[in-house]
Chain A
């Protein structure tokens, strides 16, 4: 039988504690004159790999894997859940 550990903290507390050290969400950017904000601090862009919101927000590269779009433009075009309208 597995050894019992002390009771875990609720998921919300774990998230709060980890977020204190983790990359922050909240970076703003504009696509087609519309303002957006990152709701998630780190995500995986298909074909590109993991990016923090800070890296993505400041990356102006137009990726072939994203159909010639920047990451910001791609996220807006697919209605990604990692961003919200500001």
Chain B
């Protein structure tokens, strides 16, 4: 079936679209946030972790065998997702398409839907997603990091640090509590504390009250905690969560498969049927390099 030629469909939508529709869209900048992004997850991928069980000890003639090398891989699986929609140019004929000035409306529409797709994934899937193949929401595409963390806490694989409720009156203390409970090797290497903007607000308001000046970014534009090799990273994908996630850069992993990120389109009479597809999966690579608090 030939690709519908909508090149003649141009409109002020192309010009106005970004300001009207994109103002609420969030930037898709996961790598910049310290998240490891894998774009080749066309099958479940084992994220190899090799550790050593046992330890050196003073010499004795008797054997004292230990396990030695131990693999504790975690597996990243990307699940295909989709967004189907119809595009009927007649719906826009007397509005956005009224002014035709040469820009392809079809391309612009897809561009917009693609951004909205990523925005949905960012806000609803990456953190709070709960995998349900029969689901109808973006949260059902895959388990998010928050869901995995909650499951690991329930399974007693992760022991949350009891910070208690984080408020404007204790924000700095609670974030510092996460630091003091982190293993020394993490403190030496430096790590990120991911939080929602709500918890970041608690931190900066308490900081301002306690020290009478604002918490500011450093010369590199990062929110580094005072005298600590720790960066606070407020992220929109945590929504209004009260969770603090202290971890190394690249330990939270997002997986997709670039070859299966597709747009399929076909024409039914004058209606264009479009399907956007993108595999999505999340995982935590190394559970020894993550520390969370007790607030969900």
**Residues in chain A within 8 A of chain B (CB atoms):** 1-8, 10-12, 14-15, 17-19, 22-23, 40-46, 50, 52, 74-75, 77-82
B40 within 8 A of A: yes
Q: Is the CB of B154 within 8 A of A46?
A: no
Tell me how many residues of B have a C-beta within 8 Å of chain A.
Answer: 38
**Residues in chain B within 8 A of chain A (CB atoms):** 40, 43-48, 73, 75, 77, 130-131, 143, 147-148, 150-157, 159-165, 177, 180-181, 242, 293-296
Partner of A44, one of B44, B162, B296: B162
Q: Is the CB of A43 within 8 A of B44?
A: no
Which of B40, B155, B242 counts the most A-chain CB atoms under 10 A from its CB? B155
Kindly list chain B residues whose C-beta atoms are within 8 Å of the C-beta of A1.
40
How far is A32 from B295 in the complex, measured between Cα atoms in Å?
23
B58–chain A nearest beta-carbon distance, Å: 27
Instruction: Evaluate whether A80 and B143 lie within 8 angstroms (CB atoms) in the complex, with A3-B46, A44-B159, A50-B159 already known.
Output: no
How far is A42 from B180 in the complex, measured between Cα atoms in Å?
19
Partner of A15, one of B152, B160, B181, B296: B152
How far is A24 from B165 in the complex, measured between Cα atoms in Å?
23
Kindly list chain B residues whose C-beta atoms are within 8 Å of the C-beta of A75.
162, 164
- Other A-B contacts than A10-B131, A19-B154, A81-B294, 5 sampled, CB-CB below 8 A, are A4-B43, A11-B143, A11-B150, A15-B152, A80-B294
The chain A residue with its CB closest to the CB of B143 is A11
Instruction: Evaluate whether A45 and B162 lie within 8 angstroms (CB atoms) in the complex, with A11-B147, A22-B155 already known.
Output: yes
Q: Is the CB of A43 within 8 A of B45?
A: no
Kindly list chain A residues whose C-beta atoms are within 8 Å of the C-beta of B164.
75, 77-81
Q: Is the CB of B161 within 8 A of A44?
A: yes
Q: Is the CB of B73 within 8 A of A5?
A: yes
Partner of B77, one of A2, A7, A41, A81: A7
Q: Is the CB of B155 within 8 A of A80?
A: no
Kindly list chain A residues whose C-beta atoms are within 8 Å of the C-beta of B152.
15
The chain A residue with its CB closest to the CB of B165 is A79
Q: Is the CB of A5 within 8 A of B151?
A: no
Kindly list chain B residues whose C-beta atoms are within 8 Å of the C-beta of A15.
150-152, 154-155
Kindly list chain A residues whose C-beta atoms are within 8 Å of the C-beta of B130.
12
B252–chain A nearest beta-carbon distance, Å: 15
Q: List 22 A-B contacts (CB under 8 A).
A: A2-B45, A2-B47, A4-B45, A10-B143, A11-B151, A12-B130, A14-B151, A40-B153, A40-B294, A41-B154, A41-B156, A46-B180, A52-B156, A74-B162, A78-B163, A80-B162, A81-B160, A81-B162, A81-B242, A81-B295, A82-B160, A82-B294
Q: Is the CB of A46 within 8 A of B294?
A: no
How far is A22 from B131 in the complex, measured between Cα atoms in Å?
24
The chain B residue with its CB closest to the CB of A75 is B162
Kindly list chain B residues whose C-beta atoms are within 8 Å of the C-beta of A3.
46
B74–chain A nearest beta-carbon distance, Å: 8
The chain A residue with its CB closest to the CB of B177 is A46
Kindly list chain A residues whose C-beta atoms are within 8 Å of the C-beta of B162.
43-46, 74-75, 78, 80-82
Kindly list chain B residues whose C-beta atoms are within 8 Å of the C-beta of A4.
43-46
How far is A66 from B130 in the complex, measured between Cα atoms in Å?
36
Kindly list chain A residues whose C-beta atoms are within 8 Å of the C-beta of B44.
4-8
Q: Is the CB of A43 within 8 A of B40?
A: no
